[in-house]
């Protein structure tokens, strides 16, 4: 950008010498050089401060690493490179045979547990009936024993008859105690079986989740690119080794990385212009929508290592988010492409046209591609 200013001034000086036939001597040349130094330097420094420009910009985008939830051999890959997908569309499928077997086995265990629970419920009904019968028998035996004891004390009946009644009462009480224990045992078995059913149903849910996870779907609207997954490969649920990279739609940002010097003149809402190497000669208008308030160079993380300060550390650049007015989807601009950005403040507005002209001159330079020569 500064070279363009210098070349422009040099061209103007050359034209002035030719048009106005200014004599070329040490005074005129020195005056032109010194004046150019101050004029061009003042314009450049003022414009750089109030209407900053950076060639360090890029189209950033968010990605979602696709990691399968289950391990298995890939049967088919349905997602194609750069194909637009909707949330829930199938990306690829894993062999579901072992997971289908686990699901069926888990369901069978639930059915078996419920059958056992039904039997336990029948045992509870039977135990309650026995308890009711033995409770009545115990009450009858207790009444009989009390009545015969009174008769024996009056010597109306023999000792043998009373002993038999007393034995019957003791036996009836033992049977009642045993009936209570059987009922409690059945109730405990009922609670245990309910826990078994809950565990079995949880296993069914886990097996169903694993079975459903054999079909890997798009997490959002977007696309995948550079698909290298093929049928027959083994997919493994390793977080650090995704099998695909999913690019989320509507999650791309144009970010210009500005030096910290003109930061006070960059405000949200300021007019901005962006140029793309792939679109020479064009500048696209937009607005500043966000300015990051923290830089990675100053980030401190918990560590046992003490901070060190070195003089050669580079000053961090400030990320500034730009939203363009025009819909750029009609242009072939790969995500990750570099851009150049200029931001125009409300101060020194008379310099804006100069910045705009220089920005377009930089854009026209992109039409030259030396790699093609």
pLDDT for 146-189, tens place per residue? 777 777 777 777 778 777 878 887 888 888 888 888 888 888 88
The model's pLDDT over 210-253, given as tens digits with 9 standing for 90+, comes to 999 999 999 999 999 899 999 999 999 998 889 999 999 887 89
Burial letters 126-141, b for 16+ CB under 10 A, else e: ebeebbeebeebbeeb
CATH T-level topology, domain 51-63+246-295+314-372: Elongation Factor Tu (Ef-tu); domain 3 (2.40.30)
Cross-strand pairs, 246: 64, 224
β-sheet bridge partners, residue 90: 217
What topology does CATH give the domain 68-95+215-235?
A: OB fold (Dihydrolipoamide Acetyltransferase, E2P) (2.40.50)
Q: Which residues of 83-111 are buried (b: 16+ CB within 10 A; e: fewer)?
A: eebeeeeebbbbbbeebeebbeebbebbe
Quickly state the pLDDT bin for 5 (edges 50, 70, 90): low
pLDDT band at 339 (very low <50, low <70, confident <90, very high): very high
pTM over 0.85: no
Structure tokens at 365: 């330079």
Whether domain 97-213 has CATH 1.10.287.620: yes
Average pLDDT, the chain: 85
């Amino acid at each position: 950008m500064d070279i363009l200013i210098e070349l422009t001034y040099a061209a103007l000086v050359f034209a002035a010498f030719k048009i106005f036939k200014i004599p070329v001597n040490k005074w005129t040349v020195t005056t032109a050089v010194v004046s150019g130094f101050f004029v061009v330097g003042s314009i450049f420094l003022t414009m750089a401060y109030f209407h900053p420009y950076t060639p360090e910009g890029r189209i950033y985008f968010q990605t979602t690493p696709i990691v399968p939830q289950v391990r298995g051999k890939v049967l088919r890959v349905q997602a194609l490179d750069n194909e637009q997908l909707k949330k829930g569309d199938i990306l690829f499928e894993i062999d579901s045979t072992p997971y289908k077997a686990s699901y069926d086995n888990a369901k069978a265990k639930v059915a078996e547990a419920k059958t056992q629970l039904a039997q336990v419920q029948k045992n509870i009904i039977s135990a309650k009936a026995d308890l009711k019968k033995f409770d009545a028998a115990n009450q009858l035996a207790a009444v009989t024993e009390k009545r015969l004891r009174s008769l024996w004390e009056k010597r109306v009946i023999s000792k043998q008859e009373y002993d038999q009644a007393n034995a019957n009462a003791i036996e009836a009480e033992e049977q009642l105690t045993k009936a209570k224990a059987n009922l409690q045992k059945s109730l405990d078995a009922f609670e245990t079986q309910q826990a078994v059913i809950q565990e079995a149903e949880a296993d069914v849910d886990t097996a169903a989740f694993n079975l459903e996870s054999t079909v890997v779907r798009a997490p959002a609207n977007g696309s995948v690119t550079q698909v290298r997954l093929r049928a027959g490969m083994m997919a493994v649920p390793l977080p650090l080794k995704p099998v695909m990279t999913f690019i989320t739609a509507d999650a791309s940002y144009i970010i210009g990385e500005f030096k910290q010097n003109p930061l006070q003149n960059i405000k949200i809402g300021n007019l901005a212009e962006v140029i793309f190497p792939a679109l020479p000669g064009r500048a696209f208008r937009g607005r500043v929508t966000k300015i990051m308030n923290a830089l990675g160079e100053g980030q401190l993380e918990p560590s046992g290592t003490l901070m060190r300060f070195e003089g050669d550390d580079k000053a961090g650049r400030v990320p500034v988010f730009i939203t363009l007015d025009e819909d750029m989807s009609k242009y072939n601009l790969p995500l990750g492409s570099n851009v150049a950005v200029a931001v125009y403040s409300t101060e020194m507005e008379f310099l804006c046209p100069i910045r705009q002209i220089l920005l377009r001159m930089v854009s026209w330079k992109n039409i030259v591609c030396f790699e093609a020569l």
